[in-house]
Amino acid sequence: MAVPQLAITPALKRQLGLWLDEDLGRGDLSAVCLCSDLVEAHWVAKAPGVFAGGVLAAAVFQQLDAQVQVQQLVADGEPVVAGQRLLNLTGGAPALVGAERTALNLAMRLSGIATATAALVAELQGSGIQLADTRKTTPGLRALEKYAVRCGGGQNHRLGLDDAAMLKENHLAWAGGMDAAVAAVRSQAPWPARVIIEAETAAEATAAVNAGADGVLLDEFSPDELRELVPQLRQLASQRGSAVVLEASGIQPQQLSHFCDTGIDLISTSAPVTRSAWLDVSMRFSPRQEG
């Protein structure tokens, strides 16, 4: 799998600083007992899974001490086993202690999402169906949680409402119908914004393709229903001289394998973000050398 990319932008650095401030408050009261020498530490996985968040370590620790050095031993997106060393750190003791919890919390949260994503992606292996996330994310953590999904082999759906126009039941009701809603979006949204329409029945899915949707979200359809409907929608789109992305949602994670032969392109689920447990990672400190 290609190594996922995460840009450490100025905005992300500011956010990391705010998260550090939350923990540090008026200052770490334990810092006065620490030596001023350079010290060494490392992270170790305490359970098997998929690692994510190591790329953030330097950006977090260097907020407190620009001289902190981080050597990442396991790339984000790589599987790990219990007891495996993940990265090495060298720096001033106050910085390593002060930023420890913030950095670990982020890595454990993101590694948990990556691990859960990888397990679901494995269920779809060989089917040609991709697993995608949703906008059900923790406020303030969306970019990182979606990065963790990529680390687990999943795909990112919309980062926000400005990525694509997804027209659901409420949009269609308040816009005066499907054709009116699509026409309004096409006339105002910047090119090449995609239009995705949520359908809860075969009739709605057919109407969505006829309306020129770029994608149809098939919500809570059974595998049998999709096996019958998907070829019909493909044929209809072909007759219109277009292609359509067919996405299924409303699927329980434990049922994913039942959809492998339905012919859909994508399954979107919030489960890796909303239901995953953190992957336990700890930071171990090397004893100070006397002399």
Catalytic (active-site) positions: 101, 136, 168, 198, 219
CB 24 within 8 A of CB 98: yes
Contact of 67 with 90, CB cutoff 8 Å: no
Q: Hey, which residues does 85 pair with through a beta bridge?
A: 44
Please tell me the total number of residues recorded for the chain in this structure: 291
Helix (H), strand (E) at residue 154: none
Alpha carbon 88 to chain centroid, angstroms:
25
3-state secondary structure of 70: strand
Sign (positive or negative) of CA dihedral 247, 253, 255, 257: positive
Residue with tokens 């995609």: 194
Using DSSP bridges, classify how beta strands 245-249 and 79-80 pair: parallel, antiparallel or unpaired. Answer: unpaired
Q: Write the DSSP assignment of 254-288 as a string of letters.
A: GGGGGGTTS--SEEE-SHHHHTPPPPPEEEEEPPP
- Tokens 């450490």 — which residue? 8
Cα-Cα end-to-end distance for the chain: 47
